[in-house]
Amino acid sequence: MPVLPKPPDGPRRTAAEPLRVFVVDDHTLFRRGLIALLAQYPALRVVGEAGDAGEALRMAPPLAPQVVLLDHHLPGVRGIDAIRGLREAMPQARVLMLTVSEDGEDLAQALRQGAQGYLLKTIEGDLLADAIARAARGEPVVSAELMGKLVAAFQAQGGPPSDAAAEAAGAPPDTAQPPGAAEPASPLSPREEDVLREIARGASNKEIARALDIAETTVKIHVQHILRKLGLSSRVQAAVYASDRQRVA
């Protein structure tokens, strides 16, 4: 049985409407524990739960969740194989994998199917709540410890991660330009290089801001500049670019 994330240190308040979350996991004890954990975050509200993909497809659409937390190892239809159906049934919802599988191919396949992100069940409660909020905003989220495996999975397949990265970010796949396909229009500044290194290890904007001792809004600006200068469309592509460049060097 996977270890549940630890509870938050204290309650959080928000003036906005809580994000509507639907939980899909076949382990009842973990599912109920996860729901109890998320209930401690006022910014989140669990509107329903299911033990398998079929039950989720029947129950979730009328509840209009904004984020679906989906396990991979489900009875019958695997979680990854259910992503596309869930997205078709609930176009407004983001599907966020929450699983024990650290397999790079599972991760890459989940993104290809349209998952907004891929997290391990060992994630801390605060980080999970933040990831749910980021996913709801359309940001791709991947556990930091899996970023290297994601890059390796795409490289092993001999192609760029443009389809998966663009789809996870909500953009048409053909709008994503493969990393390294063109020289950057201008070189990155030293600070942008610092931000790119943090992106490559899977850090969020908040984590980058903390690591570099700069404002989170400044990080967002740097990320926008990096993607524009390198001709990329997502953070995942930026991570692959950084990995490729390091390998060549």
pLDDT tens, 193-218? 999 988 877 777 888 999 999 999 99
Backbone angles phi, psi at 20, to 5 degrees: -90, 120
State the Cα–Cα distance between residues 106 and 245, nearest whole angstrom: 25
Residue 2's pLDDT is: 54
State the Cα–Cα distance between residues 152 and 137, nearest whole angstrom: 27
Residue 3's pLDDT is: 52
- Number of Cβ atoms within 10 Å of the Cβ of 196: 21
pLDDT tens digits for range 24-75 = 999 999 999 999 999 999 999 999 999 999 999 999 999 999 999 999 999 9
Distance between first and last Cα of the chain: 42
- What Cα–Cα distance (Å) separates residue 247 from each residue in 7, 103, 136? 39, 22, 34
State the Cα–Cα distance between residues 50 and 27, nearest whole angstrom: 10
What mean pLDDT comes out for the span 119-147?
88
Does residue 175 have a pLDDT over 50? no
Does residue 158 have a pLDDT over 80? no
Q: pTM, whole model, 2 decimals?
A: 0.65
DSSP, collapsed to helix, strand or coil, labels residue 68 as strand
* Per-residue pLDDT band at 99 (split at 50, 70, 90): very high
Q: Provide the 8-state DSSP code for 109.
A: H
Residue 153's pLDDT is: 64
What mean pLDDT comes out for the span 161-184?
40
Of residues 181 and 114, the one with the higher pLDDT is: 114
Token readout for 5 is 């994330």
Strand partners, 23: 49, 69
Of residues 159 and 48, the one with the higher pLDDT is: 48
State the Cα–Cα distance between residues 183 and 214, nearest whole angstrom: 28
State the Cα–Cα distance between residues 120 and 137, nearest whole angstrom: 20
- Number of Cβ atoms within 10 Å of the Cβ of 60: 22
Helix residue ranges, H only, the chain: 28-38, 53-63, 79-89, 104-113, 125-136, 147-156, 162-168, 190-200, 205-212, 216-230, 235-248
* Per-residue pLDDT band at 173 (split at 50, 70, 90): very low
CA dihedral sign of residues 151, 171, 210, 10: negative
State the Cα–Cα distance between residues 191 and 193, nearest whole angstrom: 5
Helix residue ranges, H only, 64-213: 79-89, 104-113, 125-136, 147-156, 162-168, 190-200, 205-212
Percentage of residues of the chain with pLDDT beyond 90: 49
